[in-house]
Amino acid sequence: MTVATNLFKGTSFLRAKRDTLLAIKKAQSTLTSVKKSSSSVLAQAAKELGELRGRSLFYPALFSGVGNGSLVELIDGSVKYDFITGIGTHFFGHSDLDLIGVALEAASKNVVMQGNLQANTELKDFLETLLSLAGPPLKYGWLATSGTDANENALKVIRHKKTPAYKVVAFKNCFHGRTLIMADITDQDAYRKGLHRYQDAYYVPFFDPKDPHSIEKSEAALKEILSQHTADIACFVFELIQGEGGFHPAPPEFFKRLMDICRQANIAIWVDEIQTVGRTGELFAFQKLGLKDTVDVATVGKMLQNCATLYTEHYNPEAGLLAGTFAGSTISLAVGKRILERLKEEKFFGKNGKIAQIEKWVFSGLKNLQKEVGEETLSNIGVLGTMVSFQFRKGDLEETKKFILNLFEEGVMTFYCGRGPYKVRFLLPGGAITQKDFEKALSLVKKTIHRMES
């Protein structure tokens, strides 16, 4: 028995932890419904933050520190439904007592940030759990504190093995992060304005459900790129569901045929699951789509509280290529492991899992609302597990933003995605949301639509 074990299993610590959780439970029980903003506190705080960072918040969402599942309190005492969850990080909603209990013990340990030279057991436990759920052929993993860093590490291990090849094939309208190289690969000019272009990526069209020849066109585009640049190309990075680009899915056959071409050309297959991990009905979208045996490298993050690059035996790099002072905080690693455990234990996955059930009633609710307000007002509905999107009117960017800001005032936080038409998007708190929560929030969506029509 170590001193640490005696401390954290001792009566004094456990009693203090219990009392803290009871106090939080009592406080959060008062948050049962939406409460509108009633002061200028939010606006002032948002203005001050904007002055510090050089630009304002999209909307003044500054949390007080207490929530209740899908509901969260803001610093002015108002209460909102959180349907964007920090762009996907708060899957179990707000003030989840189980996760707070894990975090309390982690926060009491003497190391705040764990690194790649020295670590507590939380780092090992998180990575071991993640790899066991990923399964072969993914054998190794390296942790990072952001999705972009995880993607940088993915490109590193691939280029390390494929040198002198270094270029990347990606999908049009893709998003892979905001570092210099990830911004260069991301197909969005607005995210690299004024930046030097490395021109490291070639682009293949993503699947278009309206085009019966979409798969053949993407295959032809990939083959054309390879016919001219095979020696330069190290990998194809796949978004299995385009997130930032508009929440676009594709059938397994689309990916299988492109991956077959990559295999034949000896090009690495890298799957970016920073946003999709845990949200589609299986832990990984590549598992749901039957692609797990074809993946060489995968990246994950967001809802897991820590990010990681997973790779096969072949792509395990030599010592020195991957390093870094920070691998993750003790809290993020401990909570991330618990999230992975709960996703499995609480049966979120599979055809009859919780995520599949959420998908059904969310889609049904949006279709019913569409019938009420008309397809010219609400269209292009997409529901992929807890990833949800719809188009408001013609999908104009400024009108979509206006809708989202009005919806925030009514009591629902969301965001947008796409490249035109633009869509309203939800990343639902799948671990906390109930059908009743969603129906109440949907009534506020309806109210916002009528408000904008009047």
CATH 3.30.360.10 fits domain 31-95+351-453: no
Examine the pLDDT at 21 and tell me if it is beyond 90.
Answer: yes
Dihedral, CA of residue 153, residue 171, residue 383 and residue 426, to nearest 10: 60
Fold of the CATH domain 105-345: Aspartate Aminotransferase; domain 2 (3.40.640)
- What pLDDT shows up at residue 209? 94
Half-sphere exposure of 380 (CA within 13 A, CB side): 23
Domain spans in the chain, listed from the N-terminal domain onward: 1-29, 31-95+351-453, 105-345
Residue 385 and residue 357 in contact, taking contact as beta carbons nearer than 8 Å = no
Residue 358 and residue 386 in contact, taking contact as beta carbons nearer than 8 Å = yes
Residue 334 and residue 8 in contact, taking contact as beta carbons nearer than 8 Å = no
CA separation for the pair 391, 282 (Å, rounded):
26
Per-residue confidence at 1, pLDDT binned at 50, 70, 90? confident
What pLDDT digit, counting tens, does each position of 112-159 carry?
A: 999 999 999 999 999 999 999 999 999 999 999 999 999 999 999 999
Helices (H), 230-347: 252-264, 285-288, 330-345
What is this structure's pTM?
Answer: 0.96
What pLDDT digit, counting tens, does each position of 273-310 carry?
A: 999 999 999 999 999 999 999 999 999 999 999 999 99
Examine the pLDDT at 454 and tell me if it is beyond 80.
Answer: no
